């Protein structure tokens, strides 16, 4: 299980703003209730990373993979994959 507080702390220190949301209405319909949005100077020229997914794990996997393609030292993200 990922330590979300530690991950968010590390992302914030790396210049990444993160919004993580679960939507109760989409959860009831089974339609991708989890949303994760990343922005900020840590993304370099990229303005935004966003996904809607069926699970929190899917959100993390997608967003962290995308973040690892941005300029910077992101090797530590492997700890969360």
Model-level pTM? 0.92
The helix, strand and coil proportions of the chain, stated in percent and rounded to the nearest 5, come to 45, 20, 35
Helices first, then strands: H and E counts in the chain = 3, 3
> Domain extents for the chain?
4-80
Q: How far apart (Å, rounded) are the C-alpha atoms in residues 53 and 16?
A: 20
Give 25-64 pLDDT, tens digit per residue: 999 998 999 999 999 999 999 999 999 999 999 999 999 9
């Amino acid at each position: 299980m990922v330590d979300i507080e530690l991950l968010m702390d590390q992302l914030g220190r790396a210049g990444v703003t993160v919004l993580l949301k679960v939507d109760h209405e989409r959860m009831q319909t089974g339609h991708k209730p989890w949303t994760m949005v990343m922005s900020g100077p840590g993304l370099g020229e990229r303005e935004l990373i966003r996904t809607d997914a069926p699970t929190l794990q899917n959100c993390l996997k997608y967003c962290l993979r995308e973040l690892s393609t941005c300029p910077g030292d992101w090797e530590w993200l492997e700890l969360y994959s």
